[in-house]
Structure formats: structure tokens, C-alpha cells
Structure 1
Amino acid sequence: METLYFSPMLLGLNLMLASAVACTALWYFSRPYRGPGFWMAGAWTLILGILLFMGFMASGSPLLNVLGNATQLAGEAILLLGVFRFLGLRPPYWTVPASAGAMAVVNCWYWISPINTELMVALYAAIGGALPLQACHVLLAERREPALRSVRLFVGITLLGYALVTLLRAAIGVHDWLQQVEHQDVTRSVSYLLPYNFGIPLWVIALVGLALMTMRRILQDSQRHAREAEASAHRFERLMGVANAGMLVVEDGRILDANPMLEQLFAQRREELLGQPLSQLVGEAEVPLLANLLRQADGRPHDIEARRGDGGGFPAELAIASLDESQQRLVEIRDVSHRKALERQLLHLATTDPLTGALNRRAFEERAEQELQRARRQSSPLCLALLDLDHFKQINDRHGHQVGDDVLRQFSRLCQQQARRTDLFARYGGEEFIFLLPDTSADSAHHLLERLRMALQGLEIAAPGGPIRVSVSIGLASVSANDDLHHLLGVADAALYRAKQLGRNRVEMAS
């Protein structure tokens, strides 16, 4: 024990143990960077080899001698593989079994056919000195990551110094072998003491350099990420500034940030909006929907009624997305007044007769089907009337199509004035019009249509030859239990035909 206590091996073991602990900490705190894991594994493997060799010195067991030397060289090889991993190069994994295996063969030979111990030391040192040379080469030759160049040079030169010391140890061992010098106490051998006095310090310095290289890369990546984050924030700010939609960041339902377009949309200064609840930008009826959209944050657009600072409302399109893993939300608001007006205009064109402003045939039939279904469900009365202007072809032939068009327009206007809010009125084709009268009995419908017919008789329409008057024939049908629209039209058409046969200018009820 006293010999071990005063042996440089104990000091070397302590230094390597401290290095292994440091490498373990470096690996833990630098994850997921590649390289430190190899350095940790190599350092602990090297310590295991030293402990096995110390067991050999205490017991004289040949097996511990073989395992100790082979494991130490394997640890050095594993540690140096980490340099390749750190630099993003393919590690020469073959060096681990090659170095450990070569040393194991030499050691076994030594126990089978004893040779000079100095030759043994020389062979061990030659293998151990050759291992760092590959790592030195890639460290000194690497051109990527210029920011790491100085620390790479530091580590490379230090490992080169370690390799030269180890190879010098091998040369001294060969010299002593050739001179037939053999030390009974290897601790008195220069080749034995050389690595403890010079090699291990250089090895520890190299490990410190590897730690510095790792920290330098972490710092470089952090600075790069900071620059990217700053550039991203700048791009986001510019995007917010040039976007033609209101963009705002919301947290806990309150506005954290907003772009200039939001000021234009809501006629409020940005400073007034910050810190205010997002709900103040929408109508009171939209608040529950807004709360649900903030919770979902699915990024899909939704139509909503927005409210300006002066209390005026406008149709808006709202999309809310989660900004990151926090509770912040990115909200986009667009004024869609123009789009809504265009939709209304398109709907009007698709459902309205362009000459008279009444519903067209397709729109009437779609809505009439709905009213028929409702009437059947509720067992409510419903009437349908076909209206045909009398002798309209003669008006066109005598006064021209412009007068004929004016007759159609004024008749349509009169009908729409006489119609109730729930009635459907449409131009069904040419001079033929149609009324659908929900919740109306046959008697009430007849009375309404008579009033319309009498009003038309008092209407004078300007024409080049003087004002003209027109009349209308009307066929009225009342819906039965299972009538569909096609059948109801047929019944009303038959009543209209009978009105014409009976002299026109009359309302005829279907029998």
C-alpha cells in the first residue's frame, strides 16, 4: 500500500478520475452535441484499465495484466473517436479493436515466452503514441467552422505533444531493450515515469481543450440562434408592418402587440389598443364565438362582426393560430366588406330577374320547395297564383319592346308593393309571374289578388301614342296534403287558363 501511495500511478489515476468526472459533466450539459459522449466513455474505460493494471501489480495475475493494458488502449482510442464525431467526420472505429487486440496479443506472448519488460513498455507506448496522430491530423487540417480554428489548433498541438512524449517513451524502451537493460522495479524506469511526468499532464490539458472546443461551439450556435431569432423577429415585424390585414399578438385574451393596419381598421391608436381585451374589437353577440376561437386556435378563417372604436361595425374575417407553445395567439383580422358586398351582388344577380327586379324562376322554385315542406310539417295553409298580363304581345307589337319592358317593370313593382314580407314573388317567364302566399287561406289569397288586380286597372303607363292601361289574369291554387310544387303549378295553370277563357282580367280559383 505504501508503494502504491508513493507511486505516480495513484496521482495519474486521480487525475484521470477527475478528467472522467469532468467529461461526464461536459456530456450531460452539452447534449445533444456529438463527441462529448465518446470522451466520457473513453475516460471511464481508461480508468477501468488503470484499475485492472493496479490489480495486476497487487496480485501478479497475468489476466489482469492483459486486460489492464488492452482496456487502457481501448479507452484512449474511444476518447479520440470523439474528436471525429465532434467534427462531423466518420470515426475510424477499427482503431479500438485493433489497438486493444494488438496489445492483448503482445501481452499474451509476454506471459507465454517472457521478453524484456522495456520492450513491452516500448510496444505499449508505440501503440498509444500512434493513436492520437489521427486526431491531430483532422484537428489541424479541418477548415470548416473558422470560429473554432484557434481552439482546434490548441487541442491538436497538445495531442501532438502527448503523442511525441509517448513515442519518445517507446524509443527509450527500445533503446533499453537493445542495451539489455531491464528494471526489476519498473517505477525506476525512465520510460515508465515519462508519461506520468509529461504525458498525463498533456492528456489532461487536451481534455480541457476539448471542453473549451465544445463550449466554443455552443457559444457560436447560441450566437447564431440569437442572430436568427433577431432576424426572424425583424422579418415578423416587417411582415406585420406591410400586411394588408390587422395582425396582433394576444395572451390571456388581451392584446400584446399590433401592426399599423389594425389602427386603420378600428380607427384607434395602437397605444390605446395594447393591453385591451380582444373582445372589445367584436360585437357583443360575437364574444362567445371569439372565446371559442381563441381556445381552438386552429388557424382557420371565420366570418365575424367587428366593431370600430367609434362603435361602427363591419364584416371581418378572423383567423387565430397558436404562436408557440405558450398561451400566446396570433390573430389576423381582415375587413371583408367589399367581399360581402360582392357576394350580395352575385347572389342578387343569381336570384333576381334583371329586367323586373323580381325573383327569377330558379330562385323561386328553391324557396317555394322549402315553404311547401314547412307548410306540410306545420299543416298550415299555402296558396300559389300564376299571373299573366293580358294581350301583352299586342302591346309589344303596337308600342315596341321598350314600352313592353316598362309595362313588365311597373307591373312587377306594383306586385312587390302589394306583397307581404313573407310572400314570394317571381317572374316565371315572359309576361308570366308567380306568387307563393304562405300561411294564407284561399279566401285571403283571393282577396289579396283581387286588390292587386284592381290596383293594376288604375295604373297608367306612358307610351308614345299616349298612356296605356293593362290588365292581368290570375289562376289561384291552394295546397293540399301531399301536393308538390309541380302539381300545384299545374293546378294554378289550369285555373289561369280558365280565367282567360272566361274573358280575362279576373282571378279564378282552382276547383
Structure 2
Amino acid sequence: MSLRSPLYSQHKPLLAVAALLGTGFLIIALLGYYAAHASVRDHMLKTLYLNLLIGALVMLVVLTIVYRLINSYQQRIDAQATLDSLTELPNRRGFDLLAVQALHEAQREPKPLTALLLELDDFKRLDTLHGHIATDQLLTGFARDLTQSLRHSDIVCRWSTEAFVVLLKDTDGQTGLKIAEKIRQYIEKQRYFCSGKQLLVTVSLGLTTLQDKDTLHSLLSRTDHALQRARQTGCNRTCVEMPHSSYE
């Protein structure tokens, strides 16, 4: 599923213009043919066929080029609409598209699915002390390390300024907790060099698992509650809000 810009609706007008031009060319050529003397009609008929063929080929080439240019531009617009420009991860709109499909697949199979909500600790303080450029570089580095800590099948996106959300496919709560702790401990040991400064950062995580009647909203609400507990109890930790799960 992709987001469609107004350019997508220009394909039909483009074909309509081409059809009108072709029809006009054909009408003018036919009028000239019937207005000519009989002695020159045979020659004009051959010329007409040749011109029609050349015109059709030129029009086909032009339409093909224009169509590809519009599609290419449309794809760039779609990407900009669903990707975060700083980290190049899906943004919330892109996440919604991916997450709805992941929830549907997990509930249909059924298969376990674990959700993580991560937030960089004391990010506003770091931003005040070191400036926006340094913290932008920090976010880029963190996003890269987070992505490399996960499988290609997992879904990760930038949720807000300093928060990221992850869906671990085919992963139960116990395994998800191990992954969350691995991420937390790994980030704690990282050294991010941003604008000539070494920044140390920790991360708090909230975790839950998908249930049969969950919606995306209810799933993320539980991860948010768990994250708030992690922040309120000292940060740099993982908290779990785990209802009874048939996968445990």
C-alpha cells in the first residue's frame, strides 16, 4: 500500500491529450487528402500512412518517457511521505502501514509478536548542552545501531524526537525481553562522536506482546505504559507489561 500524490491522477489526462493530438493530426491529414486532386491522392495516401506511422512511434516514445518520469517522481514522493529524513527509518505513517500488516499476519497464523518502545534517556538535556547538530548525529548513529541489532524481518521506526518503536516478528515475550536487554546493554557501552564531542547515552524500553483481540492502538498503549514505568523508576532499564499470553 502506498500513498498517492496528485501526480498519480495525471496519467489519464496525459493519455487524453495524446489521443486528442493524434485525432487532430489524423483529421487534418484526411482533409488535405480529400481536398487534393485525384492524380496526387495515391502519393498523398502513401505519405499519410508514413507520417501516421512516424507520428505514432514518436508519440509512443514520448508517452513512455513521460510515464516513467512521473512514476519515478511518484516513488520519491511516496518515500518522503513514509520515511524520516534524518534517520531514513519509516516514520509514524510508514510504521502504521507496516504494522497493520504485521498484526494481521501474526493474528491470522497465529504467531507471537513482541512490541518495544525505546526512548533515549535525558535527550533534552543532551540537546541543550551540545546543540541540535550533535544530537542529530546521535540520533542517526543510534538508529543505525538499533537497526543492526535487529533482523531484516523486524520493523523499526522513529516514533518521535527521541523515541523509536520496534515490532519483533515471530518472537514471544521471553525472547523479546532478552533482545530488549541486549539492545539496552549494547547502547550503554557505545560512544557516539558528534561534532567533535563524545556523547554517552542510555535507553529505556517498554515491552509487551500481541494478544488475540489487540489493535495497533492497544498494543502500543501497553508498550507506552511500560516505558513510562521504566522512566519513572530510574531509566536505563526495560519494563514489561505482559498480559497472559498463550505463547509463553
TM-score, normalised via structure 2 length: 0.75
Decide which of 476, 484, 509 is 2:215's aligned counterpart: 484
Deviations for 1:138-170, whole angstroms, at most 9, x for unmatched residues? xxxxxxx9x8xxxxxxxxxxxxxxxxxxxxxxx
CA distance in structure 1 between the partners assigned to 2:47 and 2:194 by the alignment: 74
Q: Which residue of 1 aligns with 2:81?
A: 350
CA distance in structure 1 between the partners assigned to 2:161 and 2:209 by the alignment: 24
Deviations for 1:328-358, whole angstroms, at most 9, x for unmatched residues? xxxx965966555433322221110011111
Q: Which residue of 2 aligns with 1:379?
A: 110
C-alpha distance 229-465 of structure 1, shift in aligned 2 (>3 A): closer
SS in structure 2 of the partner of residue 387 of structure 1: strand
State the 1:420 CA deviation: 1.1
SS in structure 1 of the partner of residue 171 of structure 2: coil
Deviations for 1:296-336, whole angstroms, at most 9, x for unmatched residues? xxxxxxxxxxxxxxxxxxxxxxxxxxxxxxxxxxxx96596
Q: What CA RMSD, in Å, does the superposition of the two structures yield over aligned residues?
A: 2.7
Q: Which residue of 1 aligns with 2:46?
A: 230
How many pairs were matched up?
A: 208
Q: Which residue of 2 aligns with 1:390?
A: 121
CA distance in structure 2 between the partners assigned to 1:456 and 1:340 by the alignment: 40
State the 1:410 CA deviation: 0.8
Deviations for 1:437-483, whole angstroms, at most 9, x for unmatched residues? 12111112112222211221122122467412101000001011101
SS in structure 1 of the partner of residue 199 of structure 2: coil
Letter in 2 for 1:419: L
Letter in 1 for 2:215: D
Q: Which residue of 2 aligns with 1:400?
A: 131
CA distance in structure 1 between the partners assigned to 2:146 and 2:126 by the alignment: 19
SS in structure 2 of the partner of residue 473 of structure 1: strand
Matched ranges for 1:237-248 at <5 A? 237-239=53-55, 242-243=58-59, 245=61
C-alpha distance 399-386 of structure 1, shift in aligned 2 (>3 A): same
Letter in 2 for 1:226: D
State the 1:433 CA deviation: 0.8
Q: Which residue of 2 aligns with 1:503?
A: 234
C-alpha distance 382-454 of structure 1, shift in aligned 2 (>3 A): same
Structure 2 gap segments, 5+ residues each: 1-34, 243-248
Letter in 1 for 2:42: A
On the 8 A contact 2:137/2:194 being kept in 1, the answer is no
CA distance in structure 1 between the partners assigned to 2:170 and 2:129 by the alignment: 41
SS in structure 2 of the partner of residue 508 of structure 1: strand
C-alpha distance 349-465 of structure 1, shift in aligned 2 (>3 A): closer
C-alpha distance 465-344 of structure 1, shift in aligned 2 (>3 A): closer
Deviations for 1:61-102, whole angstroms, at most 9, x for unmatched residues? xxxxxxxxxxxxxxxxxxxxxxxxxxxxxxxxxxxxxxxxxx
CA distance in structure 2 between the partners assigned to 1:483 and 1:241 by the alignment: 56
Letter in 2 for 1:233: Y
CA distance in structure 1 between the partners assigned to 2:51 and 2:194 by the alignment: 68
Matched ranges for 1:89-238 at <5 A? 220=38, 226-238=42-54
On the 8 A contact 2:133/2:195 being kept in 1, the answer is no
Letter in 2 for 1:371: A
C-alpha distance 405-226 of structure 1, shift in aligned 2 (>3 A): same
Letter in 2 for 1:508: C
TM-score, normalised via structure 1 length: 0.38
State the 1:359 CA deviation: 0.5
Deviations for 1:393-444, whole angstroms, at most 9, x for unmatched residues? 0001111111111111111111111121111111111111100112111112
CA distance in structure 2 between the partners assigned to 1:480 and 1:240 by the alignment: 59
1:475 matches 2:225: no
CA distance in structure 2 between the partners assigned to 1:431 and 1:408 by the alignment: 7
Give the structure with higher Rg (CA). Answer: 1
Letter in 1 for 2:101: Q
On the 8 A contact 2:120/2:162 being kept in 1, the answer is yes
C-alpha distance 227-353 of structure 1, shift in aligned 2 (>3 A): same
Q: Which residue of 2 aligns with 1:5?
A: none
CA distance in structure 1 between the partners assigned to 2:215 and 2:209 by the alignment: 11
State the 1:243 CA deviation: 4.6
Structure 1 gap segments, 5+ residues each: 1-144, 148-219, 247-331
SS in structure 2 of the partner of residue 388 of structure 1: strand
Deviations for 1:98-125, whole angstroms, at most 9, x for unmatched residues? xxxxxxxxxxxxxxxxxxxxxxxxxxxx
Q: Which residue of 1 aligns with 2:96?
A: 365
